[in-house]
Structure 1
Amino acid sequence: MKICFLTGNIFTIGGVQRVLSVIASELSKYHTIDILCTDDNLVIDRKMYNLNQNVNIVNPTGLRNKNIINKVFKGINRITGMFNNNILYKVLTEIYFPRKMRKKLTQYLNDNKYDLIIGAEGYYSLLLGLISKEIDAKTIGWQHSSYNAYLNNRYRYYWNQDKLFKEYLHNLDKCIVLTEEDSKLYKEKLNINCDVIYNPLSFQSKIKSKCNDKSIIFVGRLVKQAKGLDLLIKAFSLVNQEKEDWQLKIVGDGPDRKKLIKYIYKYHLENNIILLGKSDNVKKHYLESSIFVSSSRWEGFGLAITEAMECGLPVIAFKNSGPKEIINKNNENGILVPCNDVEKLANTIIELIENRRKREYIAQKSIERAKDFSLKIIIQQWCEFIK
């Protein structure tokens, strides 16, 4: 089968890029795989996510919407929602997906005679749904964040684009989401049937953490609002008042690094919080830690959570869509905390610090749960799904 994944740029930092690389690499053992990147500034770096050489990277020009007027109208719609209705949604369609760009993409996809095309994330799922009747291949939309993050997250993601989702996702042959909760929401809100396929682990670890280092770890992009790093630092300031000998390690990079440094200094935590930056060996950092914390305000899945589990770490996470699905037995294979409750998060961290037996118990149950996200299991599901 000849399969094309449609995305922006697979060689940038992010969970979507990493998961797509893992899935595409594995499927390339059985199928011909292309990844079509629309970014005009694409720089190929296969080492970034160990992308298999069998995966073809294609980068046709002219598939980016660079129209300045459209950008202005996007901003107006995001704030007012004036085009997000039954009367003006076709104007909104043209703003996000200009006809000239759609025509060029349609021709490219048909010329290359794909059997299956998969749109990664909401934007490319919508685009694929919009042109699906004009292309010869089967189509799948693959959502990488939660329904609420996409459509109920004020001014972010696809805020005030509900009408486009209602109008075009129905045209796809199939749709993939990451959690059962999202599957129910898409059915309830948009009357769209979705299949659930989890994101796979990007590595396995025979060695497990001994949970005896006095360190807590966070792994992810440094985006303060989405990843809740302001909440995490505030919570750790409360932890530090009682446990001065513990440290917080933050692994990752992103646009809010400078803001976070100021936040760390605000709480006088510069000696207890370590910004480790982007790492090519994140497994090492997991293994040298004792507790993993996910402070995300929203999380479609939580790849770092499953990685931490694989490395034998007990996980504490805010109770949003992804973590709820992964930690399916609260206080057993992880601990869920009410969303944005900084004090509860701090108290839960302190409890695990003081109770090594509980840390080790949850860690062991986490290792068992991580098996459900093994690449072998997830790829089997993908192979069955795309038959």
Structure 2
Amino acid sequence: MKVTFLVYNIYGMGGTVRTVANTANFLAKQGYQVDIISVRRTRRTPMFELDKRINLKPIFDARRGMLFGANTPKYKKFIKKILMKIPSLFIDKSEDLYHMFNFFVDLKIINAIRKVKEGVFITTIPSFNVLSASFASKDLILIGQEHKYFNGYHPRLQKKITRHYKKLDSLIYLTDSEVKVYKGILQESNTKLYKIENATQMPNFSSSQKEKTVIAAGRFVHEKGFDMLIKSFETVVSKHPDWKLKIFGAGEEEKTLRELIFSKKLYNNVFLMPKTNNILEEMSNSSIYALSSRQESFGMVVVEAMSVGVPCVSFACPGPVEIISHNKDGILVEQGNTDDFASSLLYLIEKEEIRIKMGLTARKNVKRYSFDTLGKKWKIMLEELRSEKKQGSFQVISKTSDKKLI
């Protein structure tokens, strides 16, 4: 079976990129023919290692000097420049990376979608899911992935989701908190719901729990709440000035976060680090992971930290609540309560034996997110959908199927 993914930038960083790379690698090893259509190309090779059998198909080469080919006729360059100045008409303005799209890229995406003629077509953000529902071949099995929570989307995007997702054959969601929402949206449709959490490879190394380092990672944007984390860590430093906080990532709020660090005179303890493709290694060189997101649908970084024996302190967002067992393999804190967040960090810093025990438990508990478990869910889903498509048995049903595959 051929499986094609459509992603924004497989050459970049981020939870969705890691998830697609992990899943594509697993499927390729299982004998599936895997293609990845990447809207943008920003590096010579992807940040995350991909199986050599995977076929990469970048649409728009954004590397310096690659925008126009050396032999591109002048009139084509002119047309391309004009189209690139027109804002995107098909990507919703509320999407995180809307400013990176334009009408030229829109046309390239639609053309790429129409060229996919067989197998399974998997899309990874709402606007791509909508485009798939609108332009993909009816011979394909269309699977949309949801990596965020419905209520966090702009009302305009919610309306598009409600209108178009019913044309998909299947929708994958990450958390139990979303199932009721999508059951309501997709009622009286033939779209099947599957709960398949993000999976990761289980590393063969773990934290020694000796480093006096707290780690965090993600885009430097308001949603990730790094401003709240820095404020919480100010309390930590006042009592344990030998502990450090490393935040890996990049984004629009980098300058604001640096100014906050300097205003609180934390420049010897809090460090904004560049994004890395060796985050597991960095995690293993820390003792606590801090997730300070204002909203988080799943939290791939939580799974990764736990996989190397690092307990997490996290605000009680819907995703982390399903991953972390409070006071057993991590600590959950009331959303937005920076004082309690600081107290929880201090608790793990000062209770080394408990921290070590939580780390060992985390490493054990997180195995449920390995491909030994979740890989089976993917295979079952794909085989079910292929069988039903082949038999022509996708029919409108009175109540949307909820396939948790547990």
Equivalent position of 1:53 in the other structure: 52
User: Aligned pair in 2 of structure 1 residues 196, 246: CA closer, same or farther (>3 Å)?
Assistant: same
Equivalent position of 1:212 in the other structure: 210
User: Aligned pair in 2 of structure 1 residues 106, 281: CA closer, same or farther (>3 Å)?
Assistant: closer
User: Aligned pair in 2 of structure 1 residues 99, 316: CA closer, same or farther (>3 Å)?
Assistant: closer
Q: How many residues align?
A: 352
Q: Aligned-pair distance for 1:384?
A: 1.2
Matched, 1:314 2:311: yes
User: Aligned pair in 2 of structure 1 residues 170, 217: CA closer, same or farther (>3 Å)?
Assistant: same
- Give CA-to-partner distance per residue, 1:263-319, whole Å, 9 cap, x none: 110111001112332234323322222111101111121111111111111111011
User: Aligned pair in 2 of structure 1 residues 277, 59: CA closer, same or farther (>3 Å)?
Assistant: closer
Q: Aligned-pair distance for 1:102?
A: 7.7
Equivalent position of 1:180 in the other structure: 176
Matched, 1:323 2:320: yes
In the superposition, the TM-score normalised over structure 2's length comes to 0.79
- Give CA-to-partner distance per residue, 1:111-157, whole Å, 9 cap, x none: xx32111111212111112235x4311110011222233x2xxxxxx
Question: 2-side partners of 1:337 and 1:384: how far apart?
Answer: 36
Range with bigger deviation, 265-274 or 253-262: 253-262
SS at match of 2:214: strand
Contact 2:177 2:318 (8 Å CA) reproduced: yes
Q: Aligned-pair distance for 1:230?
A: 0.3
Q: Of 251, 255, 258, which aligns to 1:254?
A: 251
Question: 2-side partners of 1:167 and 1:239: how far apart?
Answer: 48
Question: 2-side partners of 1:338 and 1:269: how far apart?
Answer: 25
Q: Of 281, 286, 294, which aligns to 1:284?
A: 281
User: Aligned pair in 2 of structure 1 residues 374, 246: CA closer, same or farther (>3 Å)?
Assistant: same
Equivalent position of 1:2 in the other structure: 2
Question: 1-side partners of 2:103 and 2:180: how far apart?
Answer: 27
User: Aligned pair in 2 of structure 1 residues 97, 114: CA closer, same or farther (>3 Å)?
Assistant: farther
- Give CA-to-partner distance per residue, 1:20-63, whole Å, 9 cap, x none: 11111221121111111233x554414x100111111123579x
Question: 1-side partners of 2:216 and 2:87: how far apart?
Answer: 40
Q: Which protein, 1 or 2, shows the higher relative CO under an 8 Å CA cutoff with sep ≥ 6?
A: 2
Equivalent position of 2:330 in the other structure: 334
2:28 is matched by which residue type in structure 1? S
Equivalent position of 2:358 in the other structure: 362
Q: Aligned-pair distance for 1:6?
A: 1.4
2:352 is matched by which residue type in structure 1? R
User: Aligned pair in 2 of structure 1 residues 127, 346: CA closer, same or farther (>3 Å)?
Assistant: same
Matched, 1:68 2:86: yes
Contact 2:7 2:37 (8 Å CA) reproduced: yes
List gaps (5 residues or longer) in structure 2: 61-79, 96-101, 384-406
Contact 1:116 1:139 (8 Å CA) reproduced: yes
Contact 1:120 1:144 (8 Å CA) reproduced: yes
Contact 1:224 1:260 (8 Å CA) reproduced: no
Question: 1-side partners of 2:252 and 2:266: how far apart?
Answer: 21
SS at match of 2:156: coil
User: Aligned pair in 2 of structure 1 residues 178, 272: CA closer, same or farther (>3 Å)?
Assistant: same
2:173 is matched by which residue type in structure 1? V
SS at match of 2:19: helix
Equivalent position of 2:391 in the other structure: none
Contact 1:224 1:230 (8 Å CA) reproduced: no
Please show how residues 26-37 of structure 1 align to structure 2 within 5 Å.
Answer: 26-29=26-29, 30-37=31-38
Question: 2-side partners of 1:379 and 1:344: how far apart?
Answer: 37
Question: 1-side partners of 2:107 and 2:213: how far apart?
Answer: 53
Please show how residues 137-152 of structure 1 align to structure 2 within 5 Å.
Answer: 137-149=140-152, 151=153
List gaps (5 residues or longer) in structure 1: 79-94, 152-157
SS at match of 1:38: strand
Equivalent position of 1:171 in the other structure: 167
Q: Aligned-pair distance for 1:255?
A: 3.4
Q: Aligned-pair distance for 1:356?
A: 1.8
Q: Aligned-pair distance for 1:70?
A: 5.3
Question: 1-side partners of 2:106 and 2:213: how far apart?
Answer: 53
SS at match of 2:290: strand
In the superposition, the TM-score normalised over structure 1's length comes to 0.83
Equivalent position of 1:116 in the other structure: 120
Contact 2:59 2:109 (8 Å CA) reproduced: no
Equivalent position of 2:377 in the other structure: 381
- Give CA-to-partner distance per residue, 1:177-230, whole Å, 9 cap, x none: 1111112222245546521111112x4333322323222111223x13021100
Equivalent position of 2:65 in the other structure: none
Q: Of 114, 129, 133, which aligns to 1:129?
A: 133
Please show how residues 295-306 of structure 1 align to structure 2 within 5 Å.
Answer: 295-306=292-303
Contact 1:183 1:193 (8 Å CA) reproduced: no
1:9 is matched by which residue type in structure 2? N
Contact 2:211 2:285 (8 Å CA) reproduced: yes
Question: 1-side partners of 2:113 and 2:271: how far apart?
Answer: 48
Matched, 1:38 2:56: no
User: Aligned pair in 2 of structure 1 residues 260, 115: CA closer, same or farther (>3 Å)?
Assistant: same
Matched, 1:200 2:199: yes
Please show how residues 8-27 of structure 1 align to structure 2 within 5 Å.
Answer: 8-27=8-27
Equivalent position of 1:349 in the other structure: 345
Question: 1-side partners of 2:113 and 2:265: how far apart?
Answer: 55
Contact 1:294 1:315 (8 Å CA) reproduced: yes
Equivalent position of 1:91 in the other structure: none
User: Aligned pair in 2 of structure 1 residues 12, 70: CA closer, same or farther (>3 Å)?
Assistant: closer
Q: Aligned-pair distance for 1:104?
A: 3.0
Question: 1-side partners of 2:212 and 2:298: how far apart?
Answer: 27
Contact 2:13 2:277 (8 Å CA) reproduced: no
Query: What is the root-mean-square deviation in Å for CA atoms of aligned residues?
Result: 2.8
